[in-house]
Structure formats: C-alpha cells, structure tokens
Chains A and B, each alone.
Chain A
Amino acid sequence: MKQKERCKIIRQERIGTDIYSLWLQTGAIAQAAQPGQFVMLYGTDRSRLLPRPISICQTDGAALRLVYRVAGEGTREFSYLELGHELEVLGPLGNGFPIQEAKGKQVLLLGGGIGIPPMLETAAALGNQATAVLGYRNELFLKEEFEAFCPVSVATEDGSSGVKGNVLDAVREGNLSADMLFACGPLPMLRAVKAYAQEMQIPCWISMEERMACGIGACLGCVCDSTQEDAHLHVHRKRVCKDGPVFLSTEVKL
C-alpha cells in the first residue's frame, strides 16, 4: 500500500520575495518523480486540514526539491520550518510532461512566476532539446540553474531584466521556434500560450493549478473544464490532480 512519507528537511532557503527552496530527504519519491508531477505537503498545525499541492522542482536521487511561494498561512508554516524538521509528503502525483513524446524534438519551456519551478526538472530531462523562457514580475530566481541545462530567455513585467513583457513577448523578440510547447504559469499566461500554439499550429502542453483536497482523484474538488467528455468522469471536466496537472492545450477550456 502507498502511504505518506515522513521526509526530513535537509535544506531550506529564501530565494526571492516569498519564494522558498526546500530540499527534502526522500529516496522513494525522488526516484519515482517525473518532470511536471507534484507532491502533497502536509502541515503540522491541525487547524489546517488540507495538504498543499507543490510542484516538483528538482530531484537528485535521494532528495526532492520543492520551490514554492508563500501564498497563505499553510505555505508560511512550511517557510518557518528548520533543518532536521520532518514533513509528511504524498507523491509523486499527477501525470507530468510528456518527455517521451518530446524525444528528438525542440521544446520551448515557458514558465511564468511560480510556474517556473517545475520547468527546471523538465529542462534537466530534455537538456539541449529545450529552450527555457522564464517570465517574472521583476525579481529573478532559478535563472542560473536553468542555464546549466539549456539556453534561457527572460521576460520581466517592468523590463528590469530581459525583454519587457511576458514570456510570449520574449518568444517573439527572440524569434524562438520549437516543435512543442510546455507551459506552466498563471491562467492569463496559459490562455495566451494556448492561443499562440493554435496560431503557430504547435502541440502545446500546459500544467494547470487548482485548489485540491485529496490529490488522488477522489473528491472532484480540482476539476477543470474539458473540450470533450472525459472518459472517466463522463462529463466535460477533468481532474487536475489525477488526469493532469499537465494537459494538451486543446483538451481543456481556460
């Protein structure tokens, strides 16, 4: 039977305003993890019942790296935890990006804001097949780490680094082309990326975010709208936690 794993914190640091990088000691989860999957992280304050879904940023065999943003009290609690403290983790969960399908193809990795972290493991898996385009408000994080794996373009909303604008502005300005798009970021960005992919007729995979309770497909809390009737649910919805979080952009309505 699968179960939650208790994982020791081996490193935690603040890498941006409200952005934290957390390394957890876990052989099983790290080895099973695929780029684009996520884990459920359980807090210790029993007044907060629900685990937080956090995307997997990096693995190194015996450890798992999660880069998350403090968005409320639950994630704030994680940010206070010190070395040696143990956290309960369930995962890896969800489907991840289609790395096999990308074999021999050039892939643009489009990450916006806190959608950037899952793209790092994806960049590591694709290596020189990938070009990363990272969109920030103004403050950069993880950029140098992407550069270890693939070429990187940057866009910032205020123009303080790279291209002024969003990830698609950087794609256009850099004349970046690819056979496939992998994207993760805020909903307006995903909408724009989906439209761009349609215009360019490139297959596009997007990673969605939604509030979750169970994380394993049972509660139907985290559904998104789908263009076709889902084969399992028999309605025009898909479960972000179980059928996703990564979907072909044409499968989902944004």
Chain B
Amino acid sequence: MHFFLEPGFFSNAPVRTALLLGAVVAAVSAVVGVITVVRSQSFAGHALTDVATAGGSGAYYLGVGALWGFLGGSLAGAGAMELIGVQRVRRRDLATGIVLGAATGLSALFLYLDTTVKATTGATQQILFGSIFSVSSSTIPYVAIFGGLVVLMMAIMRRPLLLTSLSSEIASSQGVRVRMVGVLFMFCLAVSVGLSSIAIGSILSTALLIGPAATALRVARSIAAATFLAIGLGIISTWLGILLAYDSFYWDPSSQGLPVSFFIVAICFVFYVFSGIALSRRRAQETRRPVATDSALSAEGR
C-alpha cells in the first residue's frame, strides 16, 4: 500500500486544501465544459485563461488581490470578445484571437514590470503555471461561492442554453433570446475560467474544462448524463493526479518530483483516448437514436 499511498498524504495540510479545491474547481469546470464543447467554444475557454492571467499579473503589479485580477481580466476579456463579435460563428475564433493577442501583450508588460520594478522573482512562473499546492486556503470560500453561483446559473439556463447550442433557429422560433443566452454563457465561462486559472493554473484550467467534458460527451447518451459523468471524471483525474504528484517526490530521492498539472493532464488525456476507442467500437455496433452527445451523433453515422 505504501507503494501507492505514500505516508502522510492525508495529514498534509496543503494536500487537503488541494484535494478540496481541486474537486470544487473540477466540478464547476465540468458543468461549464460540457456546454463549452457542445458550442465549440474551446478556444474561448482556453483564451480566457491567458486573458485572466493578464488580469492577474496586472493586479499583482497594482497590489490588488490576485483573485479580483483574474476574475476581472477574464470578465473583461469575455466582454471584449462579445463586443468584437463572438456570436457570429465564422468570426468567433478571430475575435477570440484578437483579444488573446492583445491580452498576451499586456501580460508581457505587467510581468516585465512585476519582475523589474517590484524585483520579485518567481512571479512569472507562479502566475503562468500556478500550482494547486500553493493556493492559500483563504481563496477556497471565494472559489466555492462563485463556483456555486456559476453552477446555479447554468442549471437555471439549461433548457434555453441547450436549445441555442444545438440550433439557434429552433431556439429563436421558440422565443429564446439567443444573443442574451450566449452573453450569459460567456459570463459563466469567464467566471469559471477566472476561478480555475487562479486556483489551479492556466494549463489545468483548460484541461479540466475540455478534457472530462469531451470524454463524457463521447460516452454518455444525454447532456445531463454527460454533465454528471464529466464531474466524476474531472474529480477522479484531479485526485489521482494530486496523489501521483505527491508520490513522485518519493520515487527518486534526488528529484524534485513532477508537477501536479503534468499528471492531471496526462490522466485526462488517457480518458479521452480511451473514450475514442469506446466510441468507435460502439459506432460499429449500434443504431440507436440519440440526442446531442457525440455518442449520439455517431449513431447517425457522423
């Protein structure tokens, strides 16, 4: 057992914080992620992490709380994408790209100012890569509250959201305000990404937003089932990744251990690849009628 679970795992305070925080962030990301994948907005979901990072590094320079920097940056970025024209599918990636490009420019400036003017080392790596082990436990209540709000909003909006994501024509014929729903979803996405960027770093933010959701959508037969499956997969990946990262300190006494992000991403990726195999196997067998998930689409011979 010691081989798998190194001593002191559960009695270590940073590890307990990480397990709790990781689970909350993974669950919120999964809920938002399923819709992000269905709406093909992965690029926006990823770009917002970099935009949030620009906000975070700006806040660091100004001496404002990092959490507000990340959240503010992410929301401002989502607003800018929306203004430039995210709602038109053809222009969407371009608008995302323009905002992302400008934001990375700002990051370059703020990080430069952080490291030269404030003479702090470690800021670049800390802000860019983040680490779940270094989050202060005072961030957790904020993450829980904002995360809960996002999940609540998604739950309230789930019908119009799903309708607009699948067909904006049908949705508007049913009296749904498509643009409004899109804006509200971008708002949820921005808050969720802002939170996860500060809590677990930008790499993991994208990985947990897209990985479990894309995997679940390939396997599950309805959006609801996919959401629950994605939450489960996200939490399992996070916990297993934290465990392995903790263990990795013991693998080789001379090494410094491997980062959590590496393990969590690897696990998410393995799940995704396996779901692809499961999907192609089912594609060969089945002809059931489906709703909207990838597994459903495959039955129609996509």
**Does chain A bind chain B?**
no
